[in-house]
Amino acid sequence: MLRARAAVEMLQEYHPPLAGRVALRFDFNENVHGCSPRVLARLASLTAEDLTRYPERAPVEAMVASFLGLAGEQVLLTNGVDEAIHLLCETYLEPGDEALVVVPSFSMYAICAAATGARVTTIPAADFRFPLRLLLANLTSRTKMIAIANPNNPTGALADAKDLLELASCAPQAALLVDEAYYEFCGQTVIQETARRTNLFVARTFSKAYGLAGLRIGILAGPPKQIRMVRRVSSPYNVNQVALMCLPDALSDQEYVTWYAEEVKRSRTLLEQELRLLHVPYWASHANFVLARLGDRKDLFVQRMRKRGILVRDRSSDPGCEGCVRITVGTTKQTADLLSDMRSVLDEIGAEQELPA
């Protein structure tokens, strides 16, 4: 009888709640406004001829590298950051190796690492602060991969660049991935350091600020010698032709990306102010979402917001996130609706809770 590898049989399917998302989508940290109009114009111009070709990644890769101020040999385009994570695990991990992931964080790190047969050690972030000491204390000669989202998802916390670089220096035997999926909303990066380090990788995505989650495009930057290794594992056609054709247009419209990131930052401040006024605990965020603790009111909050056409994400099963929801923010106009519905819902469920059981 055909059996999957033992490591795969142990995995659970990752099945995000994507069905029926017709409302204001504040549940997946996507751009909720739309991409640059230049991308839509490019899509409208596609011809049958464009689609008959196998996609050619190299010229677009060179363009992206130059945009980032990196050498072409340092950059690999991927089918979203998800694929970059997968490729790194396939390149560096084998059964018996160890991978370190901070929790709570993005779930794909642990899934891809475990699928290789490596042992995944979860490092708790107390108070959601970057657990540098604990990471260092858990390094062994078998540690081959460390994955850090910065800013972190779902907490919005930001680690200091100097702590990340210290970790890279202390673990030369491990690939250190710094996942900068939310870079545009915070502006802090270690991407330039990938040229000077032997084991540091940085991932970026077009799924968040750029509004292209549906196209599936990500960037993996790293030391040339190591990017060459990762390329060996990658399909040459991993990024589709439509995505490759749109990418230069998306990058060229920095005015749009800057506008959207500024809108998000204003929205984030408004949401944080409102949560303070409503006495809802939250964590200061450097990304396009805020994690808030609703406690006992969490289920009702999620349901009532959904009834009003606003989706927020229940993150209460993440370690340390009991009673928490993650709320994505978009434009200030959308945030006005979010805040007014949030006020009403908290009013309703606050009042209901005071009734005797």
Residues that bind ligand PLP (CB under 6 A): 29, 80-82, 106, 149, 153, 179, 181, 205, 207, 213, 218
Please measure the distance between the N-terminal and C-terminal CA atoms of the chain and give it in whole angstroms: 54
What secondary structure letter does DSSP report for 13? P
Nearer to ligand PLP, 214 or 356 (CB): 214
Nearer to ligand PLP, 112 or 118 (CB): 112
Closest distance of CB 3 from ligand PLP, Å? 29
Instruction: For the beta carbon of residue 98, count every other beta carbon within 10 angstroms.
Output: 20
Length, in residues, of the chain: 357
Closest distance of CB 149 from ligand PLP, Å? 4
Tokens representing 201? Answer: 């990788």
H or E segment to which residue 281 belongs? none
Nearer to ligand PLP, 29 or 116 (CB): 29
Closest distance of CB 68 from ligand PLP, Å? 16
159-163 long-range contacts, Cβ below 8 Å, gap at least 24? Answer: 159/130, 159/132, 160/130, 161/188, 161/189, 161/190, 161/193, 163/130, 163/132
Nearer to ligand PLP, 290 or 339 (CB): 290
Tell me the DSSP string of 172-220. Answer: TTSEEEEE-TTGGGT----GGGGGT-SSEEEEEESSSTT--TTT--EEE
Minimal CB distance residue for ligand PLP: 80
Is residue 131 within 8 A of residue 123, CB to CB? The reply is: yes
Look at residue 347 and give its three-state secondary structure: helix
Closest distance of CB 110 from ligand PLP, Å? 12
Closest distance of CB 82 from ligand PLP, Å? 4
Closest distance of CB 28 from ligand PLP, Å? 7
Nearer to ligand PLP, 68 or 349 (CB): 68
Nearer to ligand PLP, 177 or 271 (CB): 177
Closest distance of CB 114 from ligand PLP, Å? 17
Three-state secondary structure string covering 23-66: CEEECCCCCCCCCCHHHHHHHHCCCHHHHHCCCCCHHHHHHHHH
Nearer to ligand PLP, 215 or 345 (CB): 215
Torsion angle (degrees, nearest 10) of CA 213, 217, 218, 224: 180
Closest distance of CB 92 from ligand PLP, Å? 18
Nearer to ligand PLP, 55 or 218 (CB): 218
